[in-house]
A and B are shown apart, each in its own frame.
Chain A
Amino acid sequence: MLSSALRRLPPTALACIGVLVALALLALAGPWLSAYAPEHPDWNALSAAPSFAHGHWLGTDAIGRDTFVRALYGLRLSLLLGFGATAIALVIGLAYGASAGYLGGRSERWMMRGLDVLSALPFLLIVILLLTLFERSLWLLLAAIGGYVWIDLARVMRAEAARLREQPFVLAARAAGASTLQILRWHVVPNLLGLALVYASLLAAQAILVESFLGFLGLSIDQPSAGLGTLLQEGTQELDSAPWTLLVPAILLVVTLACFQQLGDALRDWLDVRGAANTPDGSAHEPASATIPATSA
């Protein structure tokens, strides 16, 4: 079932998924390929250039740490934080947006005003404040990033839930006596899930970017573990002596972000077209009327 769903995806999306899976596997398994540990300095090779001869394939930094292994550990941390924060954002955004959209009326208005207030706050400043005030931990970082990126998702979910609210199948459930919670669980959330997952890949890009940004400011998880942002910051210090320490994490970050962004865009377009082609006009079996809106859109 999953494989048939994959086959129907547009080629761009498939390519992006392929690259991302490869990157994730590399981040997980890659460090085993190298003989070096990420934090262990090799005093015999300080600021060594990339070479196969001494086993530091992508070179080392000023204190002799292996760039290849360190970058992959960084990618691992960035991906972990990105996915974790996205999962948090997905849960909050979906629940909040679905409830606001389905409830409608006054509660919807207040919930959306709440979102407006949140997005008006200088969120990054607050995150930075939190991270400087409290002891930095993985969980705090996850909560901070997840709490930052869910707002847009909630808006999209609200609009779609408001459309679902007036659908006859939801009315029929209400007429049969279903409670608000039942309708949300059985009809609204399952029908939002596809759209939410598409937006999740855009969110993942945003979450990874925010994490790298915090890392670049030195606000991510404490050393010795380092995300891509932290590595970039270190790399800028050694731009003259060891440019590879900047280039490697930079390329990894760019490829990761571009893939998530492309994937999200491709999936969104694909979903839009399918949505237009399935307009319920009572003649979904008429090939002409079913394909025209898709092609003219």
Chain B
Amino acid sequence: MEESLLALRDLRVTVAGATTPLLGPLDLDVAAGECLAIVGESGAGKSLTTLALLGLLPPQLRASGSLRVEGRDVALGSREHITLRGGTLAWVPQDALAALHPLRSVGAQLRETLRHAGVVREALRAEALALLERVELPAADALLARYPHELSGGQRQRVCIALALATKPRCLLADEPTSALDPRVGRGILNLLDALRRDLGLALLLVSHDLPLVATLAQRVLVLHRGQCVETGTTARVFTAPSAPYTRELLAAEHLDSAPPVQSGVLLLSANDLAVRYPRATRDALAPTTIALHRGECLALVGESGSGKSTLARAVLRLLRTPTRGRITLDGVDIGALGPRALRPMRRRIGVVFQDPFASLDPRQTAARIIAEPLRIHGIGDAAQQRERARELMRTVGLDANSLDRYPHQFSGGQCQRIAIARALATDPDLLVCDEAVSALDARSRAAILQLLARLKIERGLALLFITHDLDAARALADRIAVMQDGEIVETGEASAVLSAPQHPYTRELLAARLMSDDSRALAAS
């Protein structure tokens, strides 16, 4: 085997003063022109690994181990190690907006980094333009004068990659480079990283929790679980014949079975020509839109961020502070026209679950209080009955009823989302609105929450308005799918029909963006 570009042996990361390491022992090799993916759930130690490699660990953490870069031994934390970053090692951040200086133009930031790399003043502009072209940004000339907030998410991530390339690195460390992006944009970024790896012979260390993504990009995979490497090998081998039970679990969580369609034919919710325009906006955030949802049915609203999905959901929930146009009826009652007082009893019939599981729960309240809140609002039962109901709901959503008196920070993300679902169910609603309810969760929690929602839908005859940018989640749960773009529904139909034979070009694009996950599935099946 040829010598790796980067070889790490026996890496351990420890909190100062503690004996058991947070991470490791961990061995890791990347060769030039190779992509190694580090996968695992949040908290597995993926980011710690990259930070340790870059020498950027927070001061209270200590790293030990031996690092060899291009055949030379480098002591961790030594001056030589520190100078590797911004030289041989370059980092592509997860959150490009946070990583770029908000008050300096793209050009200024590129020139600064290029000067650091030793480019002479006269050549700075030409080099900066070349870098922007290298990362496939069109109209590079105009871009130099722009500021980060004027760019789209994809453009910002490309600028970050350009910055990383400025010092002519041999190895790129990309920490979840696409998790903040829409799938379609994310795919473009990944193609770019792959092209850079091939063309420049870069070693690429890709950190991700997204298995389908890893399957198409990486040659080798390292699976981390609780700071330990549980499995490593070629991508094809790990995906087809995983040896560690944890890897098998991870892979199984990616497979979401599609739901059998339900048709009750009884109309529950309808919106007719519903439209929203925010104050001082020049166009509608939601163009006149008509949707219908039947009892016991799941309608998925699919689209990228900014496509108007959440606006539609909030308009239906009457949560917008902006007036809406059009009619919303729930079970024949025009809830769009009701005043706040008359609307209150109708609210019992709609539950809502939001994206961020931690922010959805008041940090100062116990699970019991959170779950019983709708009951207190509507004055249902006395304190003891409400607590009993909360206990029952905890069991319904698969939580231990003994943890009723715990606070949100004592639960995991998936558990918090279960509490949010329990709260939404407290008043026995007919309709559950899920606004990206599984998007912030890792693969295993996502699969579990989707199963829970599917079960509740069948057991309680619950209708679901399921908003997501994740087509796999939509496939798992939805009977019908409506695809949104720029505030309009561009396609709607039976879930299987929309996913197998998309009519609208935008739907096809969305589907193409996640072809990767099909590739990985094919790979896993072969």
Find B58's partner among A172, A173, A177, A295 (CB 8 Å cutoff): A295
Q: Is the CB of A287 within 8 A of B42?
A: no
B351 — which chain A residues lie within 8 A by C-beta?
175-176
Q: Is the CB of B352 within 8 A of A285?
A: no
Q: Is the CB of A280 within 8 A of B358?
A: yes
B433 — which chain A residues lie within 8 A by C-beta?
175
A167 — which chain B residues lie within 8 A by C-beta?
359
State which of A56-64, A183-191, A203-211 sits at the interface with chain B: A183-191
In the complex, which residues 243-296 of chain A have their Cβ closer than 8 Å to any Cβ of chain B?
A: 280, 282-289, 291-292, 294-295
Find B356's partner among A177, A280, A295 (CB 8 Å cutoff): A280
Q: Closest approach, in angstroms, between the C-beta of B495 and any C-beta of chain A? A: 26
Interface membership of A168, Cβ < 8 A: yes
Q: Closest approach, in angstroms, between the C-beta of A185 and any C-beta of chain B? A: 11
B343 — which chain A residues lie within 8 A by C-beta?
177
Interface membership of A104, Cβ < 8 A: yes
Q: Is the CB of A190 within 8 A of B358?
A: no
By size class, the interface of chain B is 35 or more
Chain B 378-411, CB within 8 Å of chain A: the 1/0 string?
1000000000000000000000000000000100
Interface membership of A169, Cβ < 8 A: yes
Q: Is the CB of B60 within 8 A of A291?
A: yes
A294 — which chain B residues lie within 8 A by C-beta?
58
Q: Size of chain A's interface in residues, with CB distance under 8 A?
A: 32
Q: Is the CB of B373 within 8 A of A283?
A: no
Q: Is the CB of A176 within 8 A of B373?
A: yes
Q: Closest approach, in angstroms, between the C-beta of B294 and any C-beta of chain A? A: 21
Q: Is the CB of A105 within 8 A of B321?
A: yes
Q: Is the CB of A282 within 8 A of B42?
A: yes
Find A286's partner among B42, B57, B321, B373 (CB 8 Å cutoff): B42
Q: Closest approach, in angstroms, between the C-beta of A280 and any C-beta of chain B? A: 5
| Chain B, Cβ-Cβ closest to A170 | B362
Q: Is the CB of A190 within 8 A of B364?
A: yes
Interface membership of B43, Cβ < 8 A: yes
Q: Closest approach, in angstroms, between the C-beta of B174 and any C-beta of chain A? A: 15
Interface membership of A171, Cβ < 8 A: yes
Interface membership of B350, Cβ < 8 A: yes
CA–CA, A285 and B22, complex, Å: 12
Interface of B is mostly: loop
Q: Closest approach, in angstroms, between the C-beta of A167 and any C-beta of chain B? A: 6
- Count CB-based A-B contacts (< 8 Å): 107
Interface membership of A28, Cβ < 8 A: no
Find B352's partner among A104, A105, A172 (CB 8 Å cutoff): A172
Q: Closest approach, in angstroms, between the C-beta of B169 and any C-beta of chain A? A: 21
B350 — which chain A residues lie within 8 A by C-beta?
175
Q: Is the CB of B48 within 8 A of A177?
A: no
B412 — which chain A residues lie within 8 A by C-beta?
285
Q: Closest approach, in angstroms, between the C-beta of B441 and any C-beta of chain A? A: 7
CA–CA, A295 and B59, complex, Å: 8
Find A287's partner among B48, B377, B378, B420 (CB 8 Å cutoff): B48
Q: Is the CB of B373 within 8 A of A173?
A: yes
Knowing A168-B356, A169-B359, A172-B354 touch, does A285 contact B377 (C-beta < 8 A)? no
Chain B 409-451, CB within 8 Å of chain A: the 1/0 string?
1001100000010011011000001000000110000000000
B42 — which chain A residues lie within 8 A by C-beta?
282-283, 285-286
Q: Is the CB of B358 within 8 A of A288?
A: no
Interface membership of B192, Cβ < 8 A: no
Chain B 355-375, CB within 8 Å of chain A: the 1/0 string?
111111111110000100110
Q: Is the CB of A186 within 8 A of B356?
A: no
Knowing A187-B362, A191-B363, A291-B60 touch, does A177 contact B319 (C-beta < 8 A)? no
| Chain A, Cβ-Cβ closest to B95 | A281
| Chain B, Cβ-Cβ closest to A175 | B352
Q: Is the CB of A282 within 8 A of B352?
A: no
Interface membership of B140, Cβ < 8 A: no
Interface membership of B455, Cβ < 8 A: no
| Chain A, Cβ-Cβ closest to B360 | A168
A168 — which chain B residues lie within 8 A by C-beta?
354-356, 359-360
Interface membership of B119, Cβ < 8 A: no
- Among A173, A187, A280, A287: residue with most chain B CB under 10 A: A287
| Chain B, Cβ-Cβ closest to A174 | B319
Find A282's partner among B47, B61, B424, B441 (CB 8 Å cutoff): B441
In the complex, which residues 287-326 of chain B have their Cβ closer than 8 Å to any Cβ of chain A?
A: 317, 319, 321
A-B contact pairs, 28 of them (CB 8 A): A167-B359, A169-B361, A172-B354, A172-B424, A173-B377, A175-B319, A176-B423, A177-B344, A177-B345, A177-B347, A178-B373, A280-B359, A282-B440, A283-B43, A284-B409, A284-B413, A285-B42, A285-B43, A285-B412, A286-B42, A286-B43, A287-B61, A288-B47, A288-B51, A288-B58, A292-B58, A295-B58, A295-B59
Counting from the closest, the 9 A-B pairs by CB-CB distance are: A177-B347, A283-B42, A168-B354, A282-B440, A288-B47, A176-B374, A285-B43, A168-B360, A177-B344
